[in-house]
Amino acid sequence: MALMSALGLQNATPAASTIVSSWFGVLGVYLYARTIGKTKREVLLDPKTGQEVVLAKRHTLFFIPAKGWVYLSGIIAAFVSVGAFSDAESATSSSGKPAALKEAETAISSRSNGINHGNTPQALEAATKFGKALQTFREVAIGKTKQSAFSLSDGEFLTHCHATPRSIAFLVHVPSLRKFSKDAKDALAEVAGGLAVGAVQAMTPPPTRIAVGIRGAVLYDRIIVIETGEGQATQTYPGTDDERLYPFYTQIDEPQAQPNSVKADQPKEASTTSSQQPDATSSAATPSAPPTEKPDPSPKTPKASLLPIPERDWTSSDGRPLRASLQRFLPGEPLTGEFKRSDGSLFTVPVERFSTADKQTLRELAGASP
């Protein structure tokens, strides 16, 4: 308690106190190993042979030298920290986090649980579409990042979609998200909203609200809430506060209504009972009106643009480097991109002047942009 008061953390949670105390213990062991517990070497002279003999005196505890205790205490502190954090997370969850949200977070915590998840068949289809599209944007516009050897996702965008009659919520684990620059995170969040709308446009009935929670290994980085319909509005909330997702997981978990199983080329009016069929005489007397095509009530959602993309390194066909952000593609031929340097200057470069790899990237971006 005195240590926590000295650090100004007297009001810290029990989990934080446990974590800080355990790592201060590691620091104490390290300082001991570097001072009192340090191996002392003394050079002696053998009077018979006249040769120098080095005598090493090591401090040990249970036959383990002080340096070994530093590593051992660090491992113990790491396990204690993970346990304390998990307990704190469980305590927070039990104080109000919906059970459906906890299940979704568990589902995307490791690839061993699967890559795509959904609480209904339509939700699973939407999760697969959304996760694949967002991963493609990351690879094309931001670039791949080196994966940690201890990654639980194996580089996959683990995605969960939770559908209710009125709303849709996506959770997505983005590998190595902490290594992204702020511009890259902002671009990813902006595109994620449009991709989420596109992934659910075929659902029946269409949702009135959509949420996207972008997560790293443990914490949320962005939470996006979209009000659909006329006057569509999008709000992006940075930070780790996941309470904005609670309303999307506290509604009754009813599967979304499925469309009637009627063939696409069969008019709905034809599915009447035999008792309602007119007789031959009345059919001949009253010719039936030709069927008219009904307008599609579902609004067409425009394809989300992947541009502009954050500033990145490009390479010309002769090997010269160029660092700039791609703003848009100019109409007409040949395919030409408009780029922007960090100083704000704009310039255009034909795609053919780039290296083979960058040509492919630019053509994929051009094909994915409306």
pLDDT digits (tens, 9 = 90+) for 32-71: 777 766 776 777 777 777 777 766 666 666 667 777 777 8
| pLDDT given for residue 48 in this prediction | 77
Q: Which of the pair, 206 or 297, is modelled with greater confidence?
A: 206
Topology adopted by domain 312-368: SH3 type barrels. (2.30.30)
pLDDT digits (tens, 9 = 90+) for 220-249: 999 999 988 777 788 888 877 788 898 899
Residue 317 sits at φ, ψ, to 5 deg, of -65, -25
Integer angstrom CA distances of residue 349 from 125, 140, 232, 309, 344: 39, 18, 35, 16, 16
Instruction: Please say if the pLDDT value at position 185 is more than 50.
Output: yes
Give the highest mean pLDDT range of 19-28, 188-197, 266-275. 188-197
Question: What is the Cα gyration radius of the chain?
Answer: 31
Averaged pLDDT, 151-160: 85
Residue 247 has which token pair? 């309303």
**Among 316, 318, 352, 347, which Cα is nearest to 334's?**
352
Domain boundaries, the chain: 2-94, 99-249, 312-368
